[in-house]
Amino acid sequence: MINVSIAGGTGYTAGELLRILLRHPEVNIESVISTTSVGMPVAEMHRDLLGETDLVFSDTFRRPDVIFLCLGHGLSRTFLEENDIPASCKIIDLGNDFRNDLAFNGRNFVFGLCEQNREQIRGTNNVANPGCFATTIMLALLPLAAKKLLTDEIHVHAITGSTGAGKKPAETTHFSYRDNNISVYKPFTHQHLEEIRNTLISAGNDDLPQINFVPMRGDFTRGIFASIYTKWEGAMSESAVVDIYEEYYRSSPFVFVSKQPVSMKEVVNTNKGLLHIEFHNGYIYITSVTDNLVKGASGQAVQNMNLMFGLDETTGLKLKGSAF
* Interface with a copy of itself (CB under 8 A), residue from 124, 199, 270, 288: 270
Asked if residue 188 binds a copy of itself (CB under 8 A), the reply is yes
* Interface with a copy of itself (CB under 8 A), residue from 9, 11, 15, 130: 15
Closest to 257 in 3D by CA, of 116, 152, 143, 158: 143
What are the backbone dihedrals phi and psi of residue 183, each rounded to the nearest 5 degrees, phi first?
Answer: -150, 170
Please list the alpha-helical segments (H only) found in 22-71: 42-45
Q: Which is nearer to a copy of itself, 78 or 258 (CB)?
A: 258
Q: Which residues pair with 154 in a beta bridge?
A: 211, 230
Residues within window 198-217 making contact with a copy of itself, judged by CB under 8 A: 210, 212, 214, 216
Whole-angstrom CA distances from 241 to 134, 229, 249, 280 are: 22, 14, 13, 14
Residue 219 near residue 182 (C-beta atoms within 8 A): yes
Q: Which is nearer to a copy of itself, 47 or 62 (CB)?
A: 47
CB of 135 to a copy of itself, least distance (A): 17
* Binding map of a copy of itself across residues 291-310, x = CB under 8 A, - = no contact: --x-----------------
- Is 132 considered catalytic here? yes
| Cβ-count burial 94-105 (b if 16+ within 10 Å, e if not) | bbbbbbeeeebe
* Interface with a copy of itself (CB under 8 A), residue from 19, 90, 99, 192: 19
* 3-state SS record for 109-156: CEECCHHHHHHHHHCCCEEECCCHHHHHHHHHHHHHHHCCCCCCCEEE
* Binding map of a copy of itself across residues 34-73, x = CB under 8 A, - = no contact: ----------x-xxx-xx----------------------
CB of 289 to a copy of itself, least distance (A): 8
Residue 284 near residue 232 (C-beta atoms within 8 A): yes
Asked if residue 197 binds a copy of itself (CB under 8 A), the reply is no
Q: Which is nearer to a copy of itself, 85 or 216 (CB)?
A: 216
Q: Which is nearer to a copy of itself, 127 or 289 (CB)?
A: 289
168 SS3 class = coil
204 SS3 class = coil
Q: Which is nearer to a copy of itself, 105 or 260 (CB)?
A: 260
* Interface with a copy of itself (CB under 8 A), residue from 185, 233, 246, 312: 185
Number of residues this chain uses to bind a copy of itself (CB under 8 A): 82
CB of 63 to a copy of itself, least distance (A): 27
* Interface with a copy of itself (CB under 8 A), residue from 122, 147, 157, 197: 157
Asked if residue 9 binds a copy of itself (CB under 8 A), the reply is no
Closest to 249 in 3D by CA, of 112, 120, 111, 114: 114
Whole-angstrom CA distances from 17 to 76, 244, 323 are: 17, 33, 20
**Stretch of 65-73, 181-189, 196-204, 237-245 contacting a copy of itself, by CB under 8 A:** 181-189
Residue 199 near residue 116 (C-beta atoms within 8 A): yes
Asked if residue 184 binds a copy of itself (CB under 8 A), the reply is yes
The catalytically annotated residue of 70, 89, 114, 132 is 132
CB atoms inside a 10 Å sphere around CB 18: 27
Angstrom distance (rounded) from CA 117 to CA 303? 12
What are the backbone dihedrals phi and psi of residue 251, each rounded to the nearest 5 degrees, phi first?
Answer: -100, 15
* Binding map of a copy of itself across residues 230-269, x = CB under 8 A, - = no contact: ------------------------x-x-x-xxxxxxxxxx
What positions carry a catalytic annotation?
A: 132
